[in-house]
Amino acid sequence: MPKPIVSELIELLRLERLEDNLFRGQSRDIGTRYVFGGQVLGQALSAAQQTVDPERHAHSLHAYFLRAGDVEAPIVYNVERTRDGSSFSVRRVTAIQHGQTILNMTASFHVPEAGATHQFPMPLVPMPEDLPDRLVVPAEDLDKVPAMRRRWLSNEGPFEFRHVHPRNEANPTKQPPYQNVWFRLADRAPDSEVLHRSLLAYASDFHLIGTTTFAHAISYLQPNVQMASLDHALWFHRPFRADEWLLYACDSPSAQGSRGLARGMIFTRDGTLVASTAQEGLIRVVEGKE
């Protein structure tokens, strides 16, 4: 029996089917006022997949976060069956809450087939069991964090993380804009490729845009820093399990105009590249606000 926190996430990703192309999802309180963006991504992908031939696997999704989601209200997912070709299917998903669109997503699905194969190598990093399980903010620095953020930091999540080069988010210093983070679901999940892709969509929203702050010695925990995901792209390359250790290798090639771009590659522990990501986010430092 999976841990309750893992069972809850799996149930959230299954969704309630209201009509052929209409689904309803609930939200998980992660300790903030708003719905976690990765949850909406995972649910939108789950809704799209349920309207596609199960032999066709998701290979990419592109989404725009339009409004913050209300954690207290359900989210309705409307799926448009844009195209079903001989080997590809495309779906457009609109996530709706309180009568307004909070996310638009397009996802593409492909019949598995053979072809040319290559990949970048995995960075040379320690294995997850060789890294300590550290807190994002050391216990002695928690009193520096606003009360609302402390609630989020103390909330148990369905994924566990091991940072290769951990950073104290309560006292950030300037460093190159890249990071490597091992992550996995906190317990075993059912053997479903569809479920594991939705779980990865959920987890892919962690750490990515935060990488853009490294070069500027700022943190999402600071009250004068406003951060929000604007868009998100995810490509699935090869099979994987979200309940086994995966390495998230993230970098940020540019930040400008209060926006930052981050990219990520996700590897299995044997060095297989299974997914790639990209995300642009708002990074706004509000002058005079401490």
Q: To 5 degrees, how large is the angle CA 186–CA 122–CA 113? A: 85
Pairing of strands 273-285, 16-19: unpaired
Q: Which of 89, 97, 205, 276 is catalytic?
A: 205
Q: Is 268 contained in some domain?
A: yes
Does the residue 117 lie in any domain?
no
What are residue 160's phi and psi, to 5 degrees? Answer: -110, 150
Q: Residue 25 forms beta bridges with which residues?
A: 75
Residue 54 in any domain: the answer is yes
| 87 belongs to the catalytic site | no
Average pLDDT over residues 154-176: 85
Give yes or no: 143 in active site. no
The whole-number pLDDT of residue 30 equals 73
Write down the pLDDT at residue 146.
Answer: 60
Residue-range definition of the domain harbouring residue 144 = 4-112+126-285
Q: What is the pLDDT of residue 111?
A: 96
Q: pLDDT, tens digit, for every residue of 235-257?
A: 999 999 999 999 999 999 999 99
Does the residue 121 lie in any domain? no
Greater pLDDT, 97 or 136: 97
User: How much is the pTM?
Assistant: 0.92
In a domain? residue 32: yes
Phi, psi of 32 (to 5 degrees): -125, 170
Residue 100 appears among annotated catalytic residues: no
At 287 the pLDDT is 76
The structural domain count of the chain equals 1
Please report whether residue 16 resides in a domain: yes
Of 153 and 235, more confident: 235
Question: How high does pLDDT run on average in the chain?
Answer: 91
Catalytic residue among 43, 46, 49, 279: 279
Instruction: Give me the mean pLDDT over the 104-109 stretch.
Output: 98
Adjacent-strand bridge partners of 265: 249, 276
CATH of the domain at 262: 2.40.160.210
Percent of the chain with pLDDT strictly greater than 70: 91
- Say if residue 290 is exposed, middle or buried (CB neighbours under 10 Å; 0-12, 13-18, 19+): exposed
Q: Provide the pLDDT for residue 224.
A: 84
Average pLDDT of the residues in 81-96: 98
In a domain, 290, yes or no: no
Q: What is the pLDDT of residue 133?
A: 78
Residue 120 domain-assigned? Answer: no
Beta bridge mates, 70: 34
Q: Of 46, 229, 252, 276, which residue is the catalytic one?
A: 229
Distances from the Cα of 244 to the Cα of 15, 113, 275, angstroms: 24, 25, 14
The percentage of the chain sitting over the pLDDT mark of 90, rounded to a whole number, equals: 78
Provide the pLDDT confidence category of residue 172 given band limits of 50, 70 and 90. confident
Mean pLDDT of 8-23: 96
